[in-house]
Chains A and B, each alone.
Chain A
């Protein structure tokens, strides 16, 4: 079906005409590795739009699929349905003011986005973070990793058909929400990390809840492994589906569990360790097959490794301050603000001007977010606002890979492949 035929049909949208035309033209021009059948008399090839509003596309993702019956011949992705211009907003805010925006980027694991941004600013402005703050950040990051992978598991298995997984993983997520509530006051988009440390220390009740979670969660993981690891339906739906070959994975820009499911053990926590990750022991799970099942195994094992890291952090947690003492770089503690004049002035200056990295400096720092490598590139002009803040988001790179691995799959499998690649649209559509 050519683009003219599509435009002539009455159901063409009357909005953004240039955009739709360009998208369908690009779909037609795309080269596919799939062999075309001879022109088929039943007329079963058509262009199908999956999204942007769809229960299974994990947010607002639009797929324009050229299908032949049930097989996808070519696929083109259209993103930008959740774009806000966060990079432009960053040019008008101080570094600490920007923290809540980072929460809302990868909104399944907001704590790791906070830590990523903090590490980037601390690198460019040369801020020392005390040890206790580093360990608290690691605990928060790993809890956020478990939270994100739990939601991935719930929705992917629900897409495969087992609806009750959604309820079980959300029950565990509620426990994590309670922990985050104790730590930072909010259920998930806590902006707990501050530049120079964290906002406040872990209370005893928070520590107790984390210990309890760490003790009970592995049993839940085992229970899920038992139901899914030998499940014939789950295997048939996931094995050999959405294969990303090892030689293609790095070239096409995959990152995170998608890349590790295809053989490359590239984990930023081991590549360039940040925030005390070089002092804890953990492994980086990898698989060679590159299909959906491999990505499932990688993520399940990552959850177990996260529990291991949290246990080690809880043992090693040193006593000490949770924020650096330097007034030009970090907020003073609330005691000082309320009871001393210098504290109040420092608080005012930090809110008004903020931390000022040296003029002309630029730096990049990335962390291993649950979805992949999340990095912030900051260029500074000497004021408290960044000159340019560029975000390297993992879901953006993974969606590019998705465009390539959807060719040749069936429509019903496309839903599972999207689930296996696990994109978050707030992250990819900054």
Chain B
């Protein structure tokens, strides 16, 4: 897929890339879509023992317009799925998504009529975290993977 850009792939754009991606990855502000028990572990992740702000996630911005990554924590209901999709659409680019826990990734233990079997049915997920609920360390790992993804896979030329 040809990415035509006016700068071309030169030394300047890769250096700008590195700088901007370094800045972006070290200030990933999450938007917690805390739905169920995983939300409690997400709160523990923001708490004093597993501190998320030392990785740059200083504040958990509850407004989608001010955040970079959406952490879907908990099982997604059909009724709630529309609200989540609307919130996701309100987030400005570039944005990433972490599906936290077994329920957000695949529906988890809830194989029944009310639960969407994985939020990737309607959201483009970047990192899946397994666990029920995953330890805050696991969520930390996912956040670091997202930071890695920003640094290596994202380019400033994608932001049109």
Using CB atoms and an 8 Å cutoff, list the residues of chain A in contact with chain B.
13, 15-16, 52-55, 59-60, 80-86, 88-89, 100-101, 103-104, 107-108, 110, 151, 166-167, 170-171, 173-174, 177, 187-189, 425-426, 429
Pair B112/A107 contact, Cβ less than 8 Å: no
Q: Are B87 and A151 in contact (CB under 8 A)?
A: no
> When A88-B113, A100-B109, A170-B47 are in contact, do A188 and B40 touch as well, CB less than 8 Å?
yes
Scoring A100, A110, A429 by chain B CB atoms within 10 A of each residue's CB, the highest score goes to: A429
- Give residues of chain B (81-140) contacting chain A, Cβ–Cβ below 8 Å: 82-84, 86-87, 109-115, 132-133, 135
Partner of B115, one of A84, A100, A107, A174: A84
> Which residue of B39, B74, B133 contacts A189 across the interface (Cβ within 8 Å)?
B133
Shortest distance in angstroms between A345's beta carbon and chain B's nearest beta carbon?
A: 27
> Within 8 Å CB of B132, what residues of A?
100, 189
Say yes or no: A60 contacts B35, CB within 8 Å. yes
**Within 8 Å CB of B109, what residues of A?**
100-101, 104
Q: How many residue pairs between the two chains, A and B, have CB atoms under 8 Å in the bound complex?
A: 97
Residues in B with CB closer than 8 Å to A89 are 110-112
Contacts of A52 in B (CB 8 A): 80, 83
Alpha-carbon gap, A151 to B47, bound state (A): 12
The smallest beta-carbon distance between B97 and chain A, in angstroms, is 15
Q: Which of A55, A60, A84, A171 contacts B62 (CB under 8 A)?
A: A55
Cβ contact within 8 Å between A108 and B110: no
Kindly provide the distance from the CB of B58 to the nearest chain A CB, expressed in whole angstroms: 13
B77 touches A81 (CB 8 A): yes
List 3 tightest A-B contacts by C-beta distance, closest first. Answer: A170-B47, A107-B37, A55-B62
Is A82 a contact of B75 with CB atoms below 8 Å? yes
When the two chains form their complex, are residues B44 and A88 in contact, meaning their CB atoms are under 8 A apart?
Answer: no
Known: A83-B114, A170-B47. A187 touches B82 (CB 8 A): no
Chain B contacts for A110, CB-based, 8 A: 37
In Å, the complex CA distance between A425 and B37 comes to 10
Residues of A contacting B36 in the complex (Cβ-Cβ under 8 angstroms): 59, 82, 104, 107, 425-426
A177 to B135 alpha-carbon distance, docked (Å): 11
Q: Point out the residues of chain A lying under 8 angstroms from B84, CB to CB.
A: 53
